[in-house]
Amino acid sequence: MKNLIGVLFMAFVFVACQRSSEQSTLSQDGLKVSYNDQGSGDTALVFVHGWSCDKSYWENQIPAFSDRYRVVTLDYGGHGNSGSNRENFTIASFGNDVVAVVEKLHLDPVILIGHSMGGVVIVDAASKIPDRVLALVGVDTYIQFSDTTFTSAMFKSYTAPFYQDFRGRTKSFVRDMFAANADTTLVNRIAKDMASADSIVAMQAFESMFGFGEEIENKLLEMKIPVYAVNADLWPTNEAYNRNIVPDFSVKYMKGYGHFIMLENTELFNRLLQETIDEMQDKFE
């Protein structure tokens, strides 16, 4: 009997390890997309990282939410452990990567959670699988959709230093995203990590994100999916303008923090995210 219990226990451990290990699937264009799948629950939380980041940026959310939800993190093309054999890395291609993972795992319903540029990616992904998506949650994104004019000339001027010195400009760019009192070790770690990204992938993504601006509003208007956000207050969020696009738009703030709020104060961020999820689920019951 003891031997049987031991065998069953080892089998359970093996299955649990298999479930939580890194896996992969193929995107629409055949590119390998790496993801982690943990936890269980009727609702799946799919966490999507930002520009020049990877799924490890959500490492503090997995243990906090996997006891109640299916928690999936992924690297879209050209990032982390996903493939890089893609001609052009665009918001639409990243959205396809998210869709590929959702469909591979048969996730339904899904809450898509995107940090920074990931907030744009999840809009594209949701537009392709709207019937599966319960809501979108932006993490320090959806500051405003497009109520300010950012011309092509302004964009070229802004990105020129990245083409001249990607590593140096990216480090400076990242450091500017933190409050003055931010943890120096964390700032340096993220700046070094993002500066080591593939510059071709990064700049293609930057270019695509600029071109995707007008599409965001159109997709959100067409889908009518509720949008939530957990934002820092380092930059203002134009709540009134956003509600013209998405009447259900609501936002919670982490005051005194910078762009990487899920890493800067994990406990507070997780609490606000859970409150956001609770609120949206109350609406749908």
Question: Given a cut of 70, is residue 147 above it in pLDDT?
Answer: no
Residue 146's pLDDT is 63
> How much is the pTM?
0.91
Which pair of tokens denotes residue 155? 């964009």
Residue range 217-224: mean pLDDT, rounded? 92
**pLDDT value, residue 121:** 97
- Residue 257 phi/psi, 5-degree rounding, is -115, 170
Read out DSSP for 180-244? TTS-HHHHHHHHHHHHTS-HHHHHHHHHHHHHTHHHHHHHHHHH---EEEEEESSS---HHHHHH
Residue 138 has pLDDT above 80, yes or no: yes
pLDDT grade for 148, boundaries at 50, 70 and 90:
low
pLDDT of res. 151: 81
Residue 275 amino acid letter: E
* Confidence check: pLDDT of 1 > 80: no
Residues whose CB is less than 8 angstroms from the CB of residue 72 and which lie 6 or more positions away in sequence, other chains included: 35, 36, 37, 38, 44, 45, 46, 47, 101, 102, 105, 107
Q: CB 165: neighbour CB atoms within 10 A?
A: 13
Is residue 173 a contact partner of residue 146, using CB atoms and an 8 Å limit? Answer: no
Give me the pLDDT at residue 2, please. Answer: 42
Domains of the chain: 23-148+199-284 (3.40.50.1820)
Q: Is 90 exceeded by the pLDDT of residue 111?
A: yes
Total count of residues recorded for the chain: 285
| C-alpha–C-alpha distance, residues 255 and 253, integer Å | 6
Q: What is the pLDDT of residues 28-48, one digit of tens each?
A: 999 999 999 999 999 999 999
* Of 1-15, 94-108, 266-280, minimum mean pLDDT range: 1-15
Average pLDDT over the chain reads: 91
* Cα gap 55→84, rounded to integer Å: 16
Q: Read off the pLDDT band of 10 (50, 70, 90).
A: very low
The single-letter DSSP state of residue 65 is H
DSSP H/E element including 127: helix 117-128
Rounded Cα gap, residues 112 and 203, in angstroms: 24
